Amino acid sequence: MKKKNFIYKIINKDLKNKKYKTIKTRFPPEPNGYLHIGHALSLYINFNISKDYNGKFYLRFDDTNPKTEKKIYIENIKKDLIWLGYIWHKKKYASDYFNIYYKYAIKLIKKKLAYIDDLSIKDIKKYRGSLKNPGINSPFRDRNIKENISMFKKMKNGEYKEGEKCLRAKIDMKSKNIILRDPVIYRIKYNSHYKTKKKWCIYPTYDFAHCIADSIEKITHSICTLEFINNRLLYEWILKNISINHIPKQYEFSKLNITYTITSKRKIKYLINKKKVNGWNDPRLMTLSGMKNRGFTPKSIIDFCKLIGVSKKEHIIDISILENCLRKDLNKISFRIMGVINPLKIKIKNLKKKIKIKIPNHPQNPSMGYRYIYLHSSIYIDEEDFKENSNEQFKRLTINQSVKLRYAGIIKIKKIIKKEDKILHIECIYIHKKKTKNIGIIHWISLKNSLKTKYILYNKLFISKDPNKEKNILSIINEKSIIIKYGYIEKYIKYINKKTSLQLERIGYFKLFKKSNLILSQILLLNNKNKF
């Protein structure tokens, strides 16, 4: 296998040394929210490793915290994976292993490697010390095995209050790695678990549950993000000390961060609660379901992940890279159509008969067919394509400058009809000329050929380039992230399937948000310029 990144290098070596027969990876989301673009990268990495090595890929729900996890998140995560084409060999739940976790916790107690602590969460934190200062042993650290087991059983039977007791691994309060200073491995929670309901009131922590689940499932390479680098020693400590057969290894890569984008479920949830966005699948969010609603294609997301690849360095990717991947895909598949967002009426005085014009539905793909449009004497152009007076750089319609109508001839201003300062319409002369040089081309629609349309236009959700770094994300919200306009589109829209993406010529990519009362929503501009 080619060395695509450092993980492939490691796997190639492991296979050469006959360490594993089958390569197995997993994607382990916690069902406490919807997936976002960052998760797409993790999925891409894990899924493709299993595919490239003819191995197995598991979807595991890391559901060990009943406070925040819900069935609806499970359903949406599955939907997102299917949408991206990442089909799992097996679907697993950490909660299926609650009995096993419990058994291993008892084993650690019996080996004098775990103890029940009565310290409060606050005191545990205080006793843990800091990077400069070593930790201090808890006064409960040396409880005997019998007492520990009896108390752990009482914890399980619901005889203590939340926070009254917890189980901690007994490692080293003076370790340079703070994670190893007797981490909590079990805590009491009385919330009902979406799956196991009220069966348990003690739950393993991420560190205790994750490595054991990896081992039970015989995962070979457990890939996670860099913030877990210090947890790796704990991962290894637990597996070694519970004496489990299969020992997977953890490898870390850097989290995906994108400019103008939030990739944290907690912060997305906050925006939803503050009603700054309309739920998890708001098209302005970079959740996978939001992106799907916006009009992103699975291919564009996968192409993006392929392009940026895996790295070990923290960095932030420019959003334009993602947008370019989408633009490239949409360019290939989108139906070309003419629509006007800011309508300005033109009356062509010398056009006595309508002109029938055959135009392609896609300039490079003849298999998408063609259609007929008609140039009538009343048309709409976009307000932005007209300026009463302008210099030559403005290659569109002015008093002194004619312009070509796309697929048709040239128009030239005869008279601007105004009421006070407001332009009512413009009278033009039509020159039937196909070949032209050095003249701007604009899009248009005949009034008779058009339908009234509501356009939903999107701008970036944040005004700051790195919103993940902002303390108060509410202060960097772009209040103009949605703009509504009323314009027109070719009548032909009626024959287009709702799922087909559209390119409004010269403007950008749109999707049919609602077909019945004609609402189009913007996916992306044709170029990077913010037009509206």
d(CA 330, CA 72): 31
* Among 11, 23, 24, 42, contact with ligand ATP (rule: CB under 6 A): 42
Footprint of Mg ion (CB under 5 A): 30
Q: Which residues contact 228 (CB under 8 A, 6 or more apart)?
A: 250, 252
Please give the residues from 440 up to 479 whose contact with ligand ATP meets the rule CB under 6 A: none
Contact 495, 431 (CB under 8 A): no
Nearest distance in Å: CB 266, ligand ATP: 6
Dihedral sign, Cα of residue 430, residue 433, residue 435, residue 436: negative
Q: Of all residues in this chain, which one has the CB nearest to Mg ion in the complex? A: 30
> Least distance in Å: CB of 247 to ligand ATP?
19
Phi-psi region of 156 (alpha: psi -120 to 50; beta: other; left: phi over 0): alpha
- The closest residue (CB) to ligand ATP is 38
- Check binding of 487 to ligand ATP (CB under 6 A): no
Least Å distance between CB 211 and Mg ion? 15
| Nearest distance in Å: CB 62, Mg ion | 7
Query: Does residue 39 belong to the site contacting ligand ATP (CB under 6 A)?
Result: yes
- Site for ligand ATP, residues 59 to 78, rule: CB under 6 A: none
Nearer to Mg ion, 227 or 318 (CB): 227
Other C-beta atoms closer than 10 Å to the C-beta of 75 total 11
| Residue type present at position 508 | G
* Cβ distance to ligand ATP smaller for residue 272 or 496: 272
Query: Of the ranges 257-265, 278-286, 397-405, 488-496, which one interacts with ligand ATP (CB under 6 A)?
Result: 257-265
Neighbouring C-beta atoms of residue 497, cutoff 10 Å: 8
Buried b (16+ CB within 10 A) or exposed e, 259-271: bbbbbbbeebeeb
Structural contact between residues 166 and 117, judged by C-beta atoms closer than 8 angstroms: yes
**170/255 with CB nearer ligand ATP:** 255
264 binds ligand ATP (CB under 6 A): yes
Find the farthest-apart pair of alpha carbons in the chain and give their distance in angstroms, rounded.
102
Number of DSSP helices (H) and strands (E) in the chain, helices first = 12, 27
Query: Hey, which residues between 15 and 34 contact ligand ATP (CB under 6 A)?
Result: 28-30
**Which candidate, 3, 7, 2, places its Cα nearest to that of 251?**
7
Structure letter (DSSP) for residue 279: S
String of contacts with ligand ATP for each residue 207-226, x by CB under 6 A: -----------------xx-
CB of 69 to ligand ATP, least distance (A): 10
Could you say whether residue 284 binds ligand ATP (CB under 6 A)?
Answer: no
- With CB under 5 to 8 Å by kind, the binding choice for 255 among ligand ATP, Mg ion, none is ligand ATP
What is the contact mask toward ligand ATP in residues 167 to 206, using x (rule: CB under 6 A)? Answer: ----------------------------------------
Least separation in angstroms between CB 163 and Mg ion: 21
Neighbours of 144 (CB within 10 A): 10
# chain residues binding ligand ATP, by CB under 6 A: 15
Residue 309's nearest CA partner among 41, 53, 25 is 41
Sheet holding 339-340, edge to edge: 335-337, 502-504, 508-514, 519-525, 450-458, 482-490, 339-340
**Contact between 452 and 488 (Cβ < 8 Å):** yes
155 binds, among ligand ATP, Mg ion, none (CB under 5 to 8 A by kind): none
Q: Helix or strand or coil: residue 193?
A: strand
Q: Could you give the residue ranges of the DSSP H alpha helices within 85-144?
A: 98-110, 121-128
CB of 420 to ligand ATP, least distance (A): 55
- Return the number of the residue (78 or 387) whose C-beta is nearest ligand ATP: 78
Nearer to Mg ion, 30 or 118 (CB): 30
Q: In 33-159, which ranges are E strands?
A: 56-61, 90-93, 114-117
φ, ψ dihedrals at 372, nearest 5°: -110, 135
Tokens of 504: 């409004």
Closer residue to ligand ATP in complex, CB, 42/446: 42
| Closer of 196 and 264 to ligand ATP (Cβ) | 264
Q: List the single partner that 256 binds among ligand ATP, Mg ion, none, CB under 5 to 8 Å by kind.
A: ligand ATP
Q: How far is the CB of 355 from ligand ATP (least distance, A)?
A: 54
**How far apart, in whole angstroms, are the C-alpha atoms of residue 135 and residue 419?**
80
Q: Compute the least distance from the CB of residue 319 to Mg ion, in Å.
A: 24
Examine residue 401 and tell whether it contacts ligand ATP (CB under 6 A): no
Give me the least distance between CB of 96 and Mg ion, in Å please. Answer: 19
Which residues lie near ligand ATP (CB under 6 A)? 28-30, 38-39, 41-42, 224-225, 255-256, 263-266
